[in-house]
Each structure stands twice: as structure tokens, then as C-alpha cells.
Chains A and B, each alone.
Chain A
Amino acid sequence: MNTDDMTQILAGAFPDEPGDLRRLRERLARAAQRDGILDVAYRTVDSPVGSLLLAATEAGLVRVAYASEGHDTVLQALADRISPRVLNAPARLDEPARELDEYFGGHRRSFDLPLDWRLSAGFRHAVLSHLTEIGYGRTASYAAVAGLAGNPKAVRAAATACATNPLPVVIPCHRVIYSDGRIGRYLGGPEAKRTLLTLEEAAR
């Protein structure tokens, strides 16, 4: 009997128990939260614009990501920029998930969530922080948004801010379009942007 045989026989004596591991992982997430070492908690939710990744720090919601961005890529970026102590821990995302569900159901017009803005800085942050002033179901031009942020000439910078919004849907960059009516760039793709605008138009 060689080493490989022995490895197989012994591994067979301690079989994988997926249910046990799931329970242990839930227990780990609770303990990490309790001990204050859960730097980034995340979960995914299904939505009319595909699977959305929601991530939150202790301070609040820090990232909403479309599937097209690659959820694994986004999680790695969060590990690099915030902390590698990242766990799938849905409890911290219960309230954001509930509000998004209401929004996609047409029953919510604005979000009431603590937000962690650390992934956005400078003029981009200034642009994004004004986007909630564009009412539900309405749109504004990139030029108008640049003006709201205090620099009407910075149209391209405003467009970049919208295209790199770390909190899409919750911070409504989908309401910003070109003044000639073209829909413009969007993190989740133009189809997702159109879906959100149509949803808001219908529920208005």
C-alpha cells in the first residue's frame, strides 16, 4: 500500500460534510462581527438588472456591483483597498437588501441607508453626493450634474464620476444622461440603465 492509497483511505474516513461547513461558516461570520474583525461583509441579491453584490463596512454600505463587473474582481479590489478581512456575511446587508427589493418592486423612491464613501474622493465624490438631488423618475445631463458639483465646465469629469460610482442604483447615476438624449455609459451596461429608467418612469 503506497502513500497515495493511504491518503485516499484516510480522507475517506473524514468525508466532507457540506452542511457542517456551512453551519461553521455562519458561526464564524457571527463571531467575526461580534469581535469587530469583520471589516467587509458581503452578500448577493437577485434583481431585474441581474445579480448585485452588496458590500458593507462597519460604517455602512460601501459597494454595489453588477455581475458584469465580475463579483470576484470586485471582492479582490475591496480586499486590496479596504481590508482582506472579507466574509460572505449576509446579516449586515439585510437592510440594504430589503430597501433594494422595495425599490425594484416600485415601492421605494429613495434609500435611507448609512453609506461608507471611502471608495470615492475629490470631485468624483462631489458629483456623486449631488446625484440624489435628481428626483426619482427624472433625468439630468452630465453638464447639469457638473454644475451641481460646483464646476459646470467639468462635464467629462462628471461623466467619469458617474461611470465609476461605487454605489450604483443606491446613488442614482443612472439618472444622468447626455443632453441630446443619448443614454451614456453605465457600469451595469446601457441595458441595465434603461431598465432602471423604465422602472422609475412606470412607478412614478
Chain B
Amino acid sequence: MTGKQPFEAVVTEHGGTVLRVCRAILGPADADDAWSETFLAAMRAYPDLPAGANVEAWLVTIAHRKAIDVTRAAARRAVPVAQTPDDTAAGPADSPGDGLDDDLADAVTRLPAKQKQAVAYHYLAGLPYADIAVIVGGSADAVRRAAADGIATLRRTYLDAAGAASGTGAASRSERRDT
């Protein structure tokens, strides 16, 4: 009888996707901790996971909770510092050679929580909106709207800006809005 596959195979199959999700939700600095906590908790609970369960949705559910824990822990650690608009503007310039993709990653991480979760779990983890609704609460329609709002923001702030930067200019920006 063949039962549950060895946990090593679960890590091989889903480790990359869960890391992308953690990076989207938390940014690169806290993603490693969230990934580690997620897979350690998953391995602990793995023998009790029902056979035939959707492993990817199960892992994203755990990652979702761990990301909330990590965010809360970071908030507790944080010392309030007056942040000027200049500080914010200086952010992306810290990694000048990394190209536009890093900016898109940053733009995803900066989305409001519900939009970011909907975008990451749907577009990066490939989960249907109904599954995501179970994880984050609310209805599938609300998740769909949050994802659409998030994608609209990314188009506006990142993709159009990238188009403008590469010389296609304002004309192409307005074209894209029409599509």
C-alpha cells in the first residue's frame, strides 16, 4: 500500500512556491523565517494530514498564519521612528543594479494586506479564489475583487512606470489603461 509521500518530496515540490509567497507577503528580510516556520509546522502536522488533501493549499494556509505571526513579532520589535518622505523615496535606490523585477516584488509587498494575499495566493501559488477565501476569510468574490484591485495597482504603479521608463512614454500608458 502506498500512502503519503515522504515529506522530502513535499519540500521539493512546494518549497519554491511557498518561498515566493513568503517573499511577496513579507519581503525578502522576513521571508526565510516564515518559510522555515511554515515547513517545520507542516512537518510536525504531516502525519495527521488527511490522505488526498490539497497539499499546496494546506501549506499556503500555514504560511498565511506564520506570515501574520512574523508581521506581529516585527511590529512588537519595531521602535517608532519618524519617517520622512525622503526616507521612503530612498528605498528602491538601495538596489540600483537589480532591475525592474525587484521593484515589482517591492510593489507587491507594499500592497494592502488583503490585495497582497489575494494576488500572491492566486497568481504565485495558483490557488482558486474559493480556496483563498477559506484561508483569508470572506467570500470568493471579495477575494477576486481584492486580487483585481491589487493587479490594477501594480499595473498603475509598476508596469506603466516601467513602460514609461523604457521610452514608450505617456501614449502607451494611456493605451494600457484602455485595455
Residues of A within 8 A of B (CB): 1, 3, 6-7, 9-17, 20-21, 24-25, 27-28, 31-32, 35, 37, 40, 42, 75-76, 78-80, 83-88
Contacts and interface: CB of A to CB of B under 8 A. Distances in A.
A84 B155 CA distance: 43
A32 B16 CA distance: 19
Given A1-B179, A9-B104, A13-B104, 7 more contacts: A12-B104, A13-B108, A14-B19, A20-B32, A25-B11, A25-B15, A32-B43
Nearest to A21: B15
Interface of B: 1-9, 11, 15-16, 19-20, 23-24, 32, 35-36, 39-40, 43-44, 46-47, 101-102, 104-105, 108, 119, 123-124, 126, 151, 155, 159, 176, 179
Contacts of A32: 40, 43
A78 B16 contact: no
B15 A24 contact: yes
B24 to A, nearest CB: 6
A83 to B, nearest CB: 6
Label chain A's interface by main secondary structure: helix
Label chain B's interface by main secondary structure: helix
Contacts of A14: 19-20, 23-24, 105, 124
A57 to B, nearest CB: 14
A28 B20 CA distance: 17
A1 B160 CA distance: 12
27 contacts: A1-B155, A3-B123, A7-B123, A10-B104, A11-B123, A14-B105, A20-B19, A20-B32, A21-B15, A21-B19, A24-B36, A25-B11, A28-B11, A31-B40, A35-B40, A37-B44, A75-B8, A80-B3, A84-B3, A84-B7, A84-B46, A85-B7, A85-B43, A85-B46, A85-B47, A86-B6, A87-B43
Given A6-B123, A11-B20, A84 B6 contact: yes
Contacts of B39: 24, 28
Contact of A79 (B3, B19, B36, B108): B3
B151 A6 contact: yes
B40 A87 contact: no
Nearest to A79: B6
A13 B105 contact: yes
B69 to A, nearest CB: 16
B123 A24 contact: no
Contacts of B2: 76, 80
A25 B43 CA distance: 12
A79 B43 CA distance: 13
A163 B11 CA distance: 33
A83 B8 contact: no
A35 B37 CA distance: 12
A14 B44 CA distance: 27
Nearest to A89: B8
A21 B16 contact: yes
